[in-house]
Amino acid sequence: MVLCAGVLVLNTSCNDDLTEMNTSSATMQTRAREQRVESLIQQARAGDSEAYKALALCYRDGDGVGKSWCNMLFSYFIYCDKTGKDLKNFEEIVSEGHPYLFIIRTIDKPISRLTAKDRIAELAQVAPAEAKAIEAVKELRKIEDAINRPDIHKALRQAEEEGSEAAAMLQAFVLISKERSEEEKAELIRIADKYPYLYQLFDRGYIDDCMESCDIDKLQEIVDYYYRADAHAMLTPAHAGKLCVMRKRLEKADIIAPDEVETARLWSIMERNRE
């Protein structure tokens, strides 16, 4: 009995060690994937076109970063912008059954034409939460009309909570299209924290007004938003150019010091590496 007890203890100990080793190995693999994403972000921020495509694949697969078809699309959009590729080539990195393909095939303009029940039903089979988001806005003539529809806001928020990225995007576009209260601003930031590309859309044409009126505080706020997008390698070539202009204005006002290294980095993002 003593021998049996010893074998049992040894076996339990070995199993515990094995479990700990497997857990440690999984943790190391996860960290390695996260470090690769961090490296790709820095490469993209330095202007490496291929890094944007690699990031798109990471978002597609959830490899070292949260799976997101929106962030996948935004990263691939910047890749296309820098290389001159057509965004329609997006299908090269997604399978035929990917929810994004169902969404773009379901959504048509104007929004009031979203009456094809069979297409929405097809989307529901692949991504029910996304279908719920499309269903919520299908009767609108344009997304801005959702501003005065609390029922649509509620439906979109519920769809987002169920996992719909389209619902989050639709809420963001409604908020971007209007003057925002502090509460609505906080809501927009909440969404942009998940999809940093959106931070570049906050300015709503304020840049020219700020430059003309010398509204330095507002200009600094917009610059901060751009850098939030940049921190995730979501700064587009066009917005990198705008950021350069804003930085020059802040330098002229002695708000920030000239930074040739940063200017060169932003220029590297602006450069189109046509293939």
Query: The whole model's pTM is what?
Result: 0.82
- Using the Cα atoms of residue 171, residue 106, residue 229 and residue 144 in order, give the sign of their dihedral: negative
Q: Check: CB of residue 99 under 8 Å from CB of residue 69.
A: yes
CA triple 175-178-180, angle to 5 deg: 70
What pLDDT was estimated at residue 22? Answer: 62
pLDDT tens string 177-214:
888 889 999 999 999 999 999 999 987 666 665 556 66
| Domain parsing of the chain, residue ranges | 1-80, 197-275
pLDDT tens string 27-42:
877 788 899 999 999 9
Q: Flag whether pLDDT at 105 surpasses 70.
A: no
What pLDDT was estimated at residue 13? Answer: 52
What pLDDT was estimated at residue 204? Answer: 67
DSSP 85: -
pLDDT tens string 141-180:
788 888 889 999 999 999 999 999 999 999 999 998 888 8
